[in-house]
Chains A and B, each alone.
Chain A
């Protein structure tokens, strides 16, 4: 198999010494579904814009389908489809008009462009609204139209920058199904960025976690979770006091104990096997948890482990610092 996307040491430093991307390298195989997972400001959009010829890298190299981003941008634009984080539509035009213009720009005859528009409108469920100005569409409809516009020329590689952020579960599922079938049935290579762990977990063959402009871990979901090497045991107590006592008691198990309020989270190897001992210890001190849950680590745990905070907390921190 050959590399469809190949990126080496990509760096982007904006004016004012903002280091948005600090040396990112990765490869995506033909037909692979690859996800970039990271919080706000991690450098996801900047990376996408560099590899799709919209932004000039400060340094480093990127190739798509064997074409160099810097020297062969025209060739690259013919094989890629890009849905940026902000949708790219002219609100004065109708969905159909936008799709037909897009087709003609890629060299379709009028009749072909019209047929392709029909197909895509059907595909994203906008046939009924095709003749309405898309400025009047809802957020979800706009996203779906944006995806359709990205697919007009049947790209070999699809770049999707947070395609479901801000969408309701219904629209999110629609888009998930759509891109999954593109990948599975048409063999389209997909590069997707997301802030949602479930999204990366659900869709991707392989994930890179990006934080503060650097890739901090890469691999399949299983690899990444296994890298923690521990299961997660969540316990909820009726009071904070009880949780504190339990925390002291359970600290002797090798592994980690994290308390927040009346909740405890233990990271221990072979979690299920340790359960009877944990219950026994608590029982001797007359502490009874309200709920107890053992699970393999989630991607959130991987992120927590790598960066010292959860992706949600990271998000909050960013949002606060932006206010």
Chain B
């Protein structure tokens, strides 16, 4: 067990080193999520005067979109880095050491979560500088961070599973496109009641991201009493169970000597 923790930490450090040395792997993603924040806030904040918003600030409403889109980078990076290892042969070298297979896969995931955490804090900091108010205070900020990491973990499970299954950079890249429906077929720009098309309402209802958005918004705008908060946690736990199992099964197949 001690050895397992040691190895996992070693692999995590290695992944973090890779991230820092290769800033172009995370900077564009960070820029895009800040772009969402600035542009939608600048362009759409007027609509928060509609009664459906209940007087909420649009900044607090759009911030979760920026956070979730930023989280994709850290989470997707985990799968990406495994693909790179498979392609340059380092994965085989690691398989030939006594290291646990789980540790090999866990390293990049943990590194991705740490990256995501830093990114989310940065986005929130910028949010505060733009005048963001969180009614639940510090506890609410922690909840937002937890939801971001939870959502990221679920997406990391998906990206790692997909990477190990396809073993191909292009295919894995294509796999991250699920990010578009996940992010936009939801209550991305307006509350559920304002969504016009019936099909989009259905999509938003099924999409787990919706519950993450709503949970984050509830805690920032409305306060602790909202059911959306615990709903978000339940959805994330279920989503994580599904994708992490997918990753674990793919890892077993990829690693179990073909």
Q: Please report A residues at the B interface, Cβ cutoff 8 Å.
A: 52-56, 73-74, 77-78, 80, 82, 84, 86-93, 97, 101-102, 104-107, 133, 149
Contact = CB atoms under 8 A, between A and B. Distances in A.
Nearest to B257: A56
Interface in B130-158: none
Contacts of A104: 6, 10
B252 interface: no
A213 B245 CA distance: 38
Given A77-B97, A104-B10, A56 B88 contact: no
A119 B258 CA distance: 35
Contacts of A89: 88-90, 93
B178 interface: no
Among B10, B92, B256, find the residue whose CB has the most chain A CB atoms closer than 10 A: B92
Of A88, A105, A149, chain B has the most CB atoms within 10 Å of the CB of: A105
B43 interface: no
A104 B14 CA distance: 12
B56 to A, nearest CB: 44
Given A87-B89, A89-B93, A55 B258 contact: yes
A133 B88 CA distance: 14
9 tightest A-B CB contacts, nearest first: A88-B93, A88-B89, A56-B257, A105-B97, A86-B89, A90-B90, A92-B18, A105-B99, A88-B90
B96 A54 contact: yes
B3 interface: yes
B257 A54 contact: yes
Nearest to A52: B96
Contacts of B92: 54, 84, 86, 88
Contacts of B18: 90, 92-93
A101 B9 CA distance: 11
B88 A106 contact: no
Nearest to B95: A54
B89 to A, nearest CB: 4
Contacts of B91: 88
A91 B98 CA distance: 22
B237 interface: no
B223 to A, nearest CB: 45
Contacts of A78: 98
B89 A84 contact: yes
Interface in B89-111: 89-99
A92 B10 CA distance: 15
A101 B14 contact: yes
Contacts of A149: 93
Given A88-B93, A89-B90, A90-B88, A56 B256 contact: yes
A102 B14 CA distance: 12
A105 B98 contact: yes
Contacts of A84: 89, 92-93
Nearest to A159: B96
B61 to A, nearest CB: 39
Contacts of B22: 92
Given A77-B97, A92-B18, 10 more contacts: A52-B96, A53-B257, A56-B257, A77-B98, A80-B96, A84-B93, A87-B89, A88-B90, A88-B92, A90-B14
B104 to A, nearest CB: 10
Interface in B1-19: 3, 6-7, 10, 14, 17-18
Nearest to A97: B17
A77 B10 contact: no
A106 B97 contact: yes
A105 B10 CA distance: 8
Nearest to A74: B98
A104 to B, nearest CB: 6
A224 B22 CA distance: 53
A2 B54 CA distance: 82
Given A54-B257, A56-B256, A90-B14, A105 B85 contact: no
B63 to A, nearest CB: 33
A84 B93 CA distance: 8
A140 B89 CA distance: 16
Contacts of B95: 54
A71 to B, nearest CB: 12
Interface string B217-258: 000000000000000000000000000000000000000111
B4 to A, nearest CB: 12
B98 A106 contact: yes
B2 to A, nearest CB: 11
A107 B3 contact: yes
B257 A55 contact: yes
Residue of A74, A77, A84, A92 most packed against chain B (CB within 10 A): A92
Interface string B1-44: 00100110010001001100110000000000000000000000
Contacts of A90: 14, 18, 85, 88, 90
B124 to A, nearest CB: 29
7 contacts: A77-B96, A84-B92, A90-B85, A92-B18, A101-B10, A105-B99, A149-B93
A82 B96 CA distance: 8
Contacts of B93: 84, 88-89, 102, 149
